[in-house]
Amino acid sequence: MAVADGDAPGGLICVVDDDADFRDSLDNLLRSADFQVRTFADPKDFLACEAADQASCLILDVNLHGANGLDFQQELVESDANVPVILISGAGDVPMTVRAMRAGAITFLTKPVDEDAMIAAIGEAVQRYQERRQAAAVMTSLQSRYESLTPREKDVFGLVTAGLMNKQIAGRLELSEITVKIHRGNMVKKMQADSVADLVRMAEALGVRGNAKRYNRATELSLPPR
């Protein structure tokens, strides 16, 4: 069975450059290094292709016919594109390099490109891409677990991560301490947490770390006391 581009060991490397000879040369180099490669003459062609969502590295020329690679890089950043970018140019300068790096480029290489430097940069880009994908998967799982909580379990989650003990939580929510323990146990199980420290880290990642002040009375909550 054929391997999809994005599932190849090194992922999919995309090249956007309006120089056909350079594209062919880079395509041969990367394929000889066992990378899956797609090449494009224009950023619009890249965006119109499914490769834009699969690429683990984008090699982008700065000086494109009718387009500016640095501007396109910025567009990718603003659209939250996950692909790491390597900028290349036949005539780079310090301001250009600084702008590219500030926008998150892996590196800025000048043509004629050193083959070893290119392969090394791609390796770094692929590693960064894989780390981002793993982090995104972890975050998606965390959000799913949090959304599986009942409203009351979310209340308890908020107060636990605000540093309150069960007795204090019971007072804030006008519940019995036993009921709080039940909600807390269910919440901890659903969140797959091993400790309060785990819960605090999860809350910080989710941006929902509790504020005890908002739970002065149970009537302030979305649920009635029970």
121: tokens are 């940069």
Question: pTM above 0.95?
Answer: no
CB-based contacts of 138: which residues, under 8 Å, 6+ apart?
Answer: none
DSSP 162: T
CATH architecture of structural domain 148-220: Orthogonal Bundle (1.10)
Domain map (residue ranges) of the chain: 5-139, 148-220
* pLDDT of 1 above 50: no
Predicted local distance difference test score (pLDDT) of residue 54: 87
CATH code at 5-139: 3.40.50.2300
Predicted local distance difference test score (pLDDT) of residue 3: 36
Residue 132 CB: number of other CB atoms within 10 A?
A: 14
**More confident site: 179 or 50:** 179
Average pLDDT, the chain: 87
Taking residues 72-90, report their average pLDDT: 91
Calculate the alpha carbon distances from 79 to 15, 60, 64, 183 in Å: 19, 17, 21, 39
User: Residue 40: enclosing H or E segment and its boundaries?
Assistant: strand 36-40
59 close to 15: Cβ distance less than 8 angstroms = yes
Helix axes 166-173, 177-191, angle to 10 degrees: 110
Predicted local distance difference test score (pLDDT) of residue 49: 87
Predicted local distance difference test score (pLDDT) of residue 213: 52
Q: Which residue has the tokens 């394929």?
A: 31
User: What pLDDT digit, counting tens, does each position of 8-49 carry?
Assistant: 456 899 999 999 999 999 999 999 999 999 999 999 999 998
Angle at the Cα of 186 from the Cα atoms of 184 and 189, rounded to 5 degrees? 105
Percentage of the chain lying above the pLDDT 90 cut: 70
Predicted local distance difference test score (pLDDT) of residue 82: 84
Predicted local distance difference test score (pLDDT) of residue 67: 87
* pLDDT of 70 above 50: yes
User: What pLDDT digit, counting tens, does each position of 201-221 carry?
Assistant: 999 999 986 655 555 443 333
Predicted local distance difference test score (pLDDT) of residue 4: 42
